[in-house]
Structure 1
């Protein structure tokens, strides 16, 4: 068995009185986090026990936090520092800018199918919430709730709850279908599967919309006003949410349209940013900021939910190698018209489809010897 964690997001139905109380609690919690963060930065102490011994009374008296809230503040700050140290390997003081509140399951918050109960500065309050899609998670023999986060977005309050559950691991021997997935700009994805069927998701409309966002952003940058900067930030958030939603839909369709125990084969594009820095300046926005990674992550966890799996392989030559005769040549591919023409055997097809076909073949090779192929080329 393998554990998987998803984030369930629910909207709280808060009255004006509730909003005042939640805002106050989140603001004080944020201030307490900054206070503890400053102390940790100067002492480099990340032990819950010793921090609790020194700071607990101050958190209770100065900030008016309840006992469990004080403990949550310490855990929040410790976790943030550990993340920074792991990623940056140096002591950088985190700043908690937005009001927030991390809630421990069954201590700071509880959830039933009708009510959301939360610990606040003025005691515990019970609130209604929009429960669409949440009912299945209340079987706590299967689903476990973790430390949630309360956030305020444009006056609306949301609870982000990590939900952990077990799924059966997909073994190589169970694989019944292989899908090669080529990601790109002309097509968001091009696929080729074990039934020798190809599929395409056009990126034309997406590319055009992103170009419109880029144009609007440049116009606002030229104004150099406070309101234009706020607008740029808002546009960025809107564009990211829109693109994440598209990636959600694409990854969902890929998993839904294939059976359980499918092996999805992707190019390892971890170096894609460096590789695309050499493109023309006018094309750099689309190439560099394209959300390959987000789509990859969504596909990985959705595949696990369907007892399927994802492997990443070396991307070299996947669009230059002929899937029929194996001949590799850079001039096989005409990028301008998206056409692949093998100089050896004459096989022709869309260049993105060729990439998907080669990835499919690498998936077949992986099933044969249980090792991820280094490259599509076979000597």
Structure 2
């Protein structure tokens, strides 16, 4: 299976300037190529290369490999744009949002990521350095750092290209690794049900409750601080907002990784599969009061599900998705369904048999029972091959505002 390993580059100031100039040149060239593709209606790699390859090399001073990657990146961006349009993510054809997204050439941000293959980038993992091509010549001995697990994965399983990324004042390399999968467990002894929620992010059918009220208090504090800084709107407040803008996302990602690691390790240790709720479209289906909306929309439940799924696939643990309807109202002992069974957020008391339990644990037991029943009926693991990522992992995630934005036409650039 494909995984992306991210390591942090530690370039000297002169090296950082060369890397920045390289990204800017590649993305300026990609914006020009995008304008040509839009005007000529040519979006395939070979056809677009015939129209733009020589000028990309000459005008921006890119090497042969860099020029080809610039053209391919543009083709990938338009492919993602068309896929998003077909999926209805820009609204219905003819709507204003649809026209704004598809009616103009794509423009690449100056710091958008750029792919590098083995001809442009060579690794010296034992020495902790890389040699990388830039528009100012090849940089040798650029230091990088990563955890021991990351370095071991790079040394053993690195395959294909890597993406150079600049974010929040730091340089990163996202490298593709082909990690071998374990043999899938086709005969699990049982299933571990996982109930996802807001107060308790995840509760297993074994009774383990993870990431509860303390984390929510931190999230409320972060939202309050962000609201105050936005209202103040001074230069220093904007600087602080920019510095903290990804803090909550980083914390959520870290917590999701820890939860997923625990769930998968427990299922693997006990020879069980994992049953998850299928929460597709939950934000559109659920109606909440205004104070609860921010809490629902700020946590990455889909990310947690993806983390559990790909970690499970890596070790051969089967994963099934069940219908979450009425799992919080159904008694795990007798199966009686009643809205009144859910006495409060934390307490479940069956009106039929008198069974009392923690509400989230009761829900996770229902998820477990549904997962086991699905497996017995012939369902098989639905774990995806890889978490959806942008960059070196095959560009499986949709290209969005961090890499490409649709804005003004670039005919003037194309004619230069």
Alignment match, 1:80:
77
Q: What SS is found at the alignment partner of 2:247?
A: helix
Runs of at least 5 residues in structure 2 that lack an aligned partner in the other structure: 87-97, 381-416
CA contact (8 A) 2:190 2:372 kept: no
1: CA distance, partners of 2:41 / 2:207: 55
CA contact (8 A) 1:11 1:130 kept: yes
Q: What SS is found at the alignment partner of 2:304?
A: helix
CA contact (8 A) 1:104 1:146 kept: no
Report matched runs for 1:342-361 at 5 Å: 342-361=350-369
Q: What SS is found at the alignment partner of 1:248?
A: helix
Alignment match, 1:204:
213
2: CA distance, partners of 1:163 / 1:334: 48
CA contact (8 A) 2:203 2:364 kept: yes
Alignment match, 1:128:
143
Are 1:147 and 2:156 counterparts? no
Are 1:188 and 2:201 counterparts? yes
Q: 1:159 aligns with which of 164, 170, 173?
A: 173
User: Structure 1 residues 249, 98: closer, same or farther in 2, change over 3 A?
Assistant: farther
Q: What SS is found at the alignment partner of 2:263?
A: helix
User: Structure 1 residues 324, 212: closer, same or farther in 2, change over 3 A?
Assistant: same
Alignment match, 2:115:
103
Bigger shift: 96-105 or 29-38? 96-105
User: Structure 1 residues 14, 202: closer, same or farther in 2, change over 3 A?
Assistant: closer
User: Structure 1 residues 288, 156: closer, same or farther in 2, change over 3 A?
Assistant: closer
Q: 2:51 aligns with which of 50, 54, 58?
A: 54
Deviations 1:177-208 (A, max 9, x none): 4100001112111111xxxx321114101111
User: Structure 1 residues 138, 217: closer, same or farther in 2, change over 3 A?
Assistant: closer
- CA apart distance, 1:139: 5.4
CA contact (8 A) 1:177 1:259 kept: no
Alignment match, 1:263:
273
2: CA distance, partners of 1:229 / 1:269: 35
CA contact (8 A) 2:267 2:317 kept: no
2: CA distance, partners of 1:85 / 1:206: 39
Deviations 1:77-117 (A, max 9, x none): 11111111101237353321142452343122121322312
Q: 1:179 aligns with which of 173, 192, 202?
A: 192
Q: 2:259 aligns with which of 250, 266, 269?
A: 250
2: CA distance, partners of 1:302 / 1:156: 27
Q: What is the RMSD computed on CA atoms of the aligned residues?
A: 2.0
Bigger shift: 318-327 or 234-243? 234-243
Are 1:23 and 2:17 counterparts? no
Instruction: Tell me the number of residue pairs that the alignment of Structure 1 and Structure 2 aligns.
Output: 360
Runs of at least 5 residues in structure 1 that lack an aligned partner in the other structure: 373-379
Task: Give the TM-score normalised by the residue count of structure 1.
Answer: 0.89
Task: Give the TM-score normalised by the residue count of structure 2.
Answer: 0.81
1: CA distance, partners of 2:44 / 2:379: 42
Alignment match, 1:273:
283
Bigger shift: 8-17 or 160-169? 160-169
CA contact (8 A) 1:172 1:367 kept: no
- CA apart distance, 1:369: 1.6
- CA apart distance, 1:37: 1.4
2: CA distance, partners of 1:211 / 1:360: 31
User: Structure 1 residues 138, 269: closer, same or farther in 2, change over 3 A?
Assistant: closer
1: CA distance, partners of 2:57 / 2:307: 41
CA contact (8 A) 2:184 2:316 kept: yes
CA contact (8 A) 1:149 1:159 kept: yes
User: Structure 1 residues 262, 40: closer, same or farther in 2, change over 3 A?
Assistant: farther
1: CA distance, partners of 2:111 / 2:174: 15
- CA apart distance, 1:330: 1.1
CA contact (8 A) 1:60 1:66 kept: yes
